[in-house]
Amino acid sequence: MWRIESCSLSRYEMKTEPTGIQGRQRVEESCDDPSWETVKGYVEKLDGRLCTEMSLDGPNGRGMTIGGGPDRFYVSTIGDDMGPYDLQGPDLSDEPARIILGGVASDLPRRFHSTREQAIQAAEYFYRHGDIDPSLNWRLC
C-alpha cells in the first residue's frame, strides 16, 4: 500500500553572521508519516517570499516538489520508475515569468505556473496514490 513517508517545508529567515554579514538561512520543518491535513497545510504556507518550497517523499524514490506561492506554483514529480513530470498551468505560453523557488527568483515559462487549486489537487492525488493526477495537464521533462 502506498503512503507518503515524509513531508518537509523550507523557509528562509533573516540571519546575521557574527561578522555582521546579513542574509537568509534555510530552516526546514519536516514531518514523518504526515496526515493529508499536514501536507495541505504545508502547501498553504507557501507564500512566495519566505516559504517557497515543500516536498513529499515516498517509497521507490518517488517524490513531489512544490515551490512558489501564494497564487502561482511550480509542481514537479520524480521517481525511480516515473517522470520527471512538471504540472502545466492554465497559461500554456512560453513567455517567462518570475517565481520564487527555494528562496531563489527563477524565470520559468508561464506554462509551468499552476494555480493554488491545481497544486493542492496534484499534492492530494500524489499523497493518496503516489502518482500524477491524470485529470491534470503534465509534461514529461
State the pTM of this model. Answer: 0.89
Residue 137 pLDDT grade (very low, low, confident, very high; cuts 50, 70, 90):
very high
User: Hey, what's the torsion of the CAs at 64, 68, 74, 77, to 10 degrees?
Assistant: -10
| Residue pLDDT, tens place only, 66-81 | 999 999 999 999 987 7
- Helix 116-129 / helix 36-45 crossing angle, nearest 10 deg: 150
- CA dihedral sign, ordered 6, 12, 13, 18: positive
Residue 24 pLDDT grade (very low, low, confident, very high; cuts 50, 70, 90):
low
Identify whether the C-beta of residue 9 lies closer than 8 Å to the C-beta of residue 30: yes
Residue 1 in this model has a pLDDT that exceeds 80: no
Least confident segment among 9-18, 23-32, 40-49? 9-18
Kindly state the percentage of the chain with pLDDT values over 90: 72
| 108: its cell numbers | 520559468
